[in-house]
Chain A
Amino acid sequence: MSDVAEKLAICVERGKVNKSAPYPPDLKDQDGADEIARQALESGVEPDQILEGCINGMDRIGEKFSQNKAFVPELLMAAKAMNAAMVHLKPYFQSGQVKRKGLFIIGTVAGDLHDIGKNLVAMVIEGGGYEVIDLGNDVSTEKFLNAVAEHQNCVVGLSALLTTTMTNMEGTVQAIKEKYPDVNVIIGGAPLTQEFADKIGADAYSPDPQGALAFLNQNA
């Protein structure tokens, strides 16, 4: 990995957003992900290296999260730093000069308005190099189907926090698999288990964002 990519990976992993950000204290007054990405692109660094730095930084913090060495606040700060760098890559994504690994469509299922778990997964997947389409909360089966119809090369992620709404997953999973059998569907959320995923016909279950990313890296 180049120097720029490594510096960026450190900023993302540590949640250093920009120079004026007070966090983390030991990096105070130093350039953050925002400045490093912008200056690197201005000086001719390949945009792929910026993406590589983001992916590595998110991978490191995601790994720590899976191992209980980092927690939700750390993950959110890393995602904020990643987004500060990714803003500068937007034109390169639009022109096709930088390509994503694949497309991930995610939403919290119908009846469920909780979004923190879904958001964390979306951040880690995006940080893993994928384009993420976030359908939001309380997403109907029809809305998932419409999104998949537009992007049939995607992987779909369904989230549920409540025991009362996890049962709504079954209908959505079955509708997607019936119409688009080749589209992989992964589910996650506090009350879910692998057994439940098997029962409703989902392709995978992950208890954490890193597991979802690993599934995409193998199957997207």
Chain B
Amino acid sequence: MNSFERFHKRLQGMPVDRPPNFDIFMTYAAHFINQPLSVYYQDYRVLCDANFAVLEAYDLDIVQAISDPYREAADLGLPVQFPEDAMPVSTEPLLKEHADFNKLRLIKPENGRRMHDRLQAIQFFRERAGGSVPVMGWVEGALAEAADLRGVSQLMMDLFEHPDWVTDLLEFCVDIEIEFAKAQIRAGADIIGLGDAVASQISPEMYEQYALPYEKRIFKAVHEMGAVARLHICGDTSLILQQMAKSGADIIDLDWMVDFAGAAELYADGPALCGNFDPVDVMLNGTPERVKKAVIHCAQAGGPKSFSGAGCEIPDKTPHENLLAQTQALKEFTVSS
């Protein structure tokens, strides 16, 4: 059974040889092939090489074009700096004043330097691994994109002080994200991941009004193109679990603070879960034995449709043996279950 078959069968709750490993790799992968992050984030060939390297080393079941949050925003004009070996940095918001919104213009993904780079990554993945390993593209949620353009703190206050302006901005952002998702699917993506990190910082009522409707629209477009939708909201999403299921996501990532078993029960006939051991305490700082225990616990708690993964990105400098422990645990899980 190859990774592509394992992914599809697991998604439908059918028997598989082992739960798929859907860990998110970025910084770790770049350094795994001794490349600085500035190159990883800007050159799709390096991003792809790094993905294939960790895929092989740890028996992953996915290749992924996820990177920093600023692909779309940079192409819209957000100033982004790329320190040699650190995360890209946005030093000032693009939308300093509300009137700056009028300067925004929709851009085709193919015409944006950073969005196009992601499309090339997906094409490269597709050519080398299509049909044997699922290829995942990535977009920002509309709310996350709005925060990228406006700045998180300012947008959070705009939600109260200028709700109509925020709604207009979200309408603009959702159009960008839908087009970007479609372009990635055309390029060969099997899965579109949607990151909406800021959604864990607002109330359930605000999530329902300012995040969920746009997640729904993006995922509807993803489904219409025949791809699978994956929702990733960093942080504690315990209070919005029920709403997240309404997004239409086929796979929902849960960060480590969320009760995985409780969520699996809540989602019984709904989306598959991915997660959710602690990436720092368990994967970075734990022992191989602790990793194994956590991986098996999550695989049991998540039910027959669950995917294995840390609650968020695998941290840089994670011990090699801890990642191998996850691989081993997933193989043993099948044997013992």
Contacts and interface: CB of A to CB of B under 8 A. Distances in A.
B89 A72 contact: no
Contacts of B87: 113, 162, 164
Contact of B86 (A76, A111, A119, A195): A111
Contacts of B160: 15, 23-24, 73, 77
A163 B278 CA distance: 12
B316 interface: yes
Contacts of B280: 163, 166, 191, 193
A87 interface: no
Contact of A72 (B27, B201, B279, B284): B201
A218 interface: no
A132 to B, nearest CB: 16
Contact of B153 (A119, A190, A196): A119
B281 interface: yes
B161 A72 contact: no
A68 interface: yes
Nearest to A111: B86
Interface in A44-85: 68, 70-74, 76-77, 80
Contacts, number: 60
A51 B239 CA distance: 34
A195 B284 CA distance: 14
Nearest to B284: A163
B156 A72 contact: yes
A73 B202 contact: yes
Interface string B205-224: 01000000000000000000
Contacts of A111: 86
B164 to A, nearest CB: 10
B335 to A, nearest CB: 32
Interface in A61-117: 68, 70-74, 76-77, 80, 111, 113, 116
Interface of B: 27, 86-87, 89, 152-153, 156-157, 159-161, 201-203, 206, 235, 239, 279-281, 284-285, 315-317
13 contacts: A22-B161, A71-B201, A71-B206, A73-B156, A73-B202, A77-B160, A77-B161, A116-B201, A164-B27, A164-B86, A164-B315, A164-B317, A195-B281
Interface of A: 15, 21-24, 68, 70-74, 76-77, 80, 111, 113, 116, 119, 162-164, 166-167, 190-191, 193, 195-196
Given A71-B201, A76-B153, A164-B315, 20 more contacts: A21-B161, A68-B239, A72-B201, A73-B157, A73-B159, A73-B202, A73-B206, A77-B157, A80-B157, A113-B87, A116-B152, A116-B201, A163-B279, A163-B284, A164-B27, A164-B86, A166-B280, A191-B279, A191-B315, A193-B280
